[in-house]
Amino acid sequence: MNVLVTGSNGQLALTIKALFDENKKGINFIFKSKTELDITSSGNIHEFFDNNTLDYCINCAAFTNVELAETKKEEAFTINSDAVKNLALACKKQGIVLIHISTDYVFDGESCKPYKETDPTNPINVYGSSKLEGERHIMANLEQYFIIRASWLYSVFGHNFFKTVVKKINNNETMSVVNSQLGTPTSCEDLARFIFFLIYSQSRDYGLYHFAPNGETSWFGFASYIASHYKSDLIQPVGSFKTQARRPQYSVLDNSKVKAIGANIRNWQIAVDDVVIKYKEGLS
């Protein structure tokens, strides 16, 4: 089986790559970075898909800077929407299963209970709107797809909130963190293992899934939990920050559909414990 992973320098793709040795099981993963395979180039995508026999495409490529998306709207839509349509069409032409990652930011955050896949979307920022349009292109053009909405991704790789918090703690800097937005921190490793589960089981339960660990917290709760591993009291709560992009106040994803197809789900704190250990090992 051949599996293409796009956006291979991003944190999710790097996590897939790190786990891939222990998860090979006869699968050939092909990792392509933005410079090697730009998903906005329809010509390059079709050429690559025509010249390689692929079974799955895991699209980890995206415009993920939520703040910058507000001023770079066109670029955000080109990558998160137009390019995703390209990928969907190329997958359809070759009979490839597309595994695409989307976001909790397709919701407005007005709910007070975890969002199900069937709940109405209503993004309140450019990033969320562009990701939602990407989802719609896939649904309109392809049958064999998994769209996995995830939230608050972190890992030992790339840039993410977890690493920012640990760096501040290591530098002995205090950090003010919002306590008014609720969601679920998600380890890229847990998400990667769900993706492996779909591929190894050759699941045909195509469609839209909300992937999240069990539980919910605020960004302050997340940061405080990380800090507790370092015996640090440098994290302070703050009600809100002035940002360009509006954020949903509540974006917890209901993971019951993912559980119903047999995937393993942990509590978010246990996943943080693991990543802290990995991060400390990496630094030693």
Ligand X SMILES: NC(=O)c1ccc[n+]([C@@H]2O[C@H](COP(=O)([O-])OP(=O)(O)OC[C@H]3O[C@@H](n4cnc5c(N)ncnc54)[C@H](OP(=O)(O)O)[C@@H]3O)[C@@H](O)[C@H]2O)c1
Token pair for residue 188?
Answer: 């890229």
Tokens of 64: 């993920």
Strands 186-187 and 153-154: parallel
250 vs 114: CA distance, rounded Å: 8
Per rule CB under 6 A, count of chain residues that contact ligand X: 25
Phi first, then psi: what are they for 178, rounded to 5°?
-65, 135
Taking the complex as a whole, the smallest distance from the CB of residue 228 to ligand X amounts, in Å, to 21
Stretch that binds ligand X, among 38-46, 113-121, 216-224, 265-273 (CB under 6 A): 38-46
Judged by CB under 6 A, the residue of 31, 38, 58, 184 near ligand X is: 38
276 counts as binding ligand X under rule CB under 6 A = no
Among 4, 57, 58, 61, binds ligand X (CB under 6 A): 61
Q: Where are the beta strands (DSSP E) in the chain?
A: 2-6, 28-32, 56-59, 97-103, 145-150, 153-154, 175-178, 182-183, 186-187, 207-210, 217-218, 235-238
Q: Phi then psi for 237, rounded to 5 degrees?
A: -80, 145
Residue 127 is a catalytic residue: yes
Residues 70-129 that bind ligand X (CB under 6 A): 79, 83, 101, 103
* Residue 63 Cβ vs ligand X, minimum distance, rounded to whole Å: 6
Locus of tokens 């559909």: 257
Selected binder of ligand X within 3, 4, 5, 11 (CB under 6 A): 11
Give the x/- contact pattern for ligand X in 179-218, rule: CB under 6 A.
----------------------------------------
Query: Per rule CB under 6 A, is residue 58 in the interface with ligand X?
Result: no
Q: Indicate which single residue of 5, 7, 194, 226 sits in contact with ligand X (rule: CB under 6 A).
A: 7
> Binding to ligand X by residue 138, rule CB under 6 A?
no
Segment near ligand X (CB under 6 A); pick from 54-62, 89-97, 212-220, 262-270: 54-62
Fill in the per-residue mask, 146 to 175: x = in contact with ligand X (CB under 6 A), - = not in contact.
Answer: ----xxxx----x-----------------
Instruction: Name every residue whose Cβ is closer than 8 Å to that of residue 151 and which is 6 or more positions away in sequence.
Output: 103, 104, 183, 184, 185, 186, 212, 251, 252, 253
Instruction: Please report how close the Cβ of residue 157 comes to ligand X at its closest, in angstroms.
Output: 8
From the list 215, 210, 220, 221, the residue with the least C-alpha distance to 260 is 210
Q: What is the dihedral of CA 226, 231, 236, 240, to 10 degrees?
A: 0
Residue 201: other Cβ atoms inside 10 A: 12
Tracing tokens 């609720």 back to the chain, one arrives at: 182
Among the listed residues 2, 19, 27, 40, the single contact to ligand X using CB under 6 A: 40
**Smallest gap from residue 26 Cβ to ligand X (A):** 25
CA dihedral 216, 268, 204, 11 (to 10 degrees): 110
Distance CA 199, CA 193 (A): 10
Selected binder of ligand X within 4, 16, 60, 272 (CB under 6 A) = 60
**CB-closest chain residue to ligand X:** 10
Per annotation, catalytic residue among 127, 154, 225, 250:
127
Task: List residues with catalytic annotation.
Answer: 127
Provide the binding-site residues for ligand X, judged by CB under 6 A: 6-7, 9-12, 34, 38-40, 60-64, 79, 83, 101, 103, 131, 150-153, 158
